[in-house]
Amino acid sequence: MHINELDTPALLVDVDQLARNIAMMQQQISELGLNLRPHCKAHKTPELALQQIAAGAKGVCVAKLGEAEVLARGGVQDILITTPIAGLKKVQRLIALQRQYPTTRLIQVVDHIEQIQLIGKEAQQQQVSIPLLIEVESGQQRCGVEVGDELLNLIRAIQACNGVSYLGVQAYSGHLQQVKTLNERNHAAREAVLPLFTYIEQVLTPLGLAPSVVSGGGTGTFAAYQGLGFTEIQAGSYVFMDASYRSIEDLQQASEPLFGCALSVLATVISTPKPHRAVVDAGMKSLSIDLGMAQVLDDDSIRYQCGGDEHGILHLSQQSQKLRIGDKILLLPSHCDTTVNNFDTFVLVSGTEVVGEVAIAARGRCD
């Protein structure tokens, strides 16, 4: 079937570009001598996680326990939950998941002694053990303990607790992923984590407390971390790319970017009220706007503007082709993670041919 026969709005994934992106990031990370642990918050889909693992990824990350539940059910064997959890209900779900999938490695990020003690208590009662990564502050000022005594105290707290084990640390500088120029981005990314690696070398290693795993980095910063001491990279968006990632300077600084856009939203023109304005059936319930507006694929003469929950406004210029009711338009999302969260299904395409579909099983799992 040709994509123009699809009902809309539809979320399309170009399987050829997807495969190239997956292979390219795996090659980049392997060349750095690191493990790739892709962040599945970008695609929220067990099938794609397994494709990344088949290409060489060590395991995967998820942001939420709900996503971990879906991926574990889908057969993913090694899952890092990159956000701390709180409260008995959540902790009991984590432990229940570990018991349900005993051969799956579930790793949990923490940044407070209360999380450690609660997870440890419940895990011990249920006779499982949960490996923990301690999140450290690395410039984003979100979660994370300061490098220094706060980190040391948490390592000791984990070691004193049954039911949990100290695996390592997480340092993710999310605020730097989209700094526009490559040199500035790389410089800032290294500066943000240097205190951690100095502390590991000067304090933790002599105490025998060096982390086995240091996890972090994303699509925008992975290349900065060569030789620093990270063991694994958590890049996520590279599978699809989006308009905001496309606008930063690529690490190759060459005409051909490393990663291409594999994700698009197909929309239909539903109204043409003026010669310079058409309206499509994809508003913010389809295309997220947290990182700006979507772009019309391969046509700079048309500007997309969100026209509300269900409407997208296309501003046409003199160069634009004339649009008619029923015409189809491909839009490049500004932010892949939050756009994917709007859809139940990826329509798989190769060029303009539909080749299959896959359920986005963890979409909406913000729990």
Ligand X SMILES: Cc1ncc(COP(=O)(O)O)c(C=O)c1O
Does residue 9 touch ligand X according to CB under 6 A? no
Nearer to ligand X, 11 or 189 (CB): 189
Options 15-23, 38-46, 301-309, 324-332: segment touching ligand X (CB under 6 A): 38-46
Q: Which is nearer to ligand X, 244 or 320 (CB)?
A: 244
Q: Which is nearer to ligand X, 37 or 93 (CB)?
A: 37
Contact segment (CB under 6 A) with ligand X among 118-126, 148-156, 217-225, 321-329 equals 217-225
| 274 CB neighbour count, 10 Å cutoff | 9
Q: Report how many residues bind ligand X under the rule CB under 6 A.
A: 15
State which residue, 237 or 320, has the beta carbon closest to ligand X.
237
Closest distance of CB 253 from ligand X, Å: 19
Taking the least distance from each CB to ligand X, the nearer of 8 and 45 is 45
Return the residues of window 320-349 that contact ligand X according to CB under 6 A: none
* In the complex, least distance from residue 225 CB atom to ligand X, rounded to whole angstroms: 13
* Minimum gap (Å) between residue 221 Cβ and ligand X: 8
Tokens of 81: 């939950």
String marking each residue 162-181 x if it binds ligand X according to CB under 6 A: ----------x-x--x----
Residue 234 lies near ligand X (rule: CB under 6 A): yes
Q: Is 259 among the residues that bind ligand X (CB under 6 A)?
A: no
Among 14, 15, 34, 39, binds ligand X (CB under 6 A): 39
Select the residue whose beta carbon is closest to ligand X and give its number.
Answer: 218
Rounded-to-integer distance, Cα 7 and Cα 266, Å: 9
Residues 54-93 that bind ligand X (CB under 6 A): 61, 82
Measured distance CA(350)–CA(19) in Å, rounded: 11
Q: Which of 292, 254, 231, 241 is nearest to 107 (CA)?
A: 231
Q: Which residues bind ligand X (CB under 6 A)?
A: 39, 41-42, 61, 82, 172, 174, 177, 218-220, 234-237
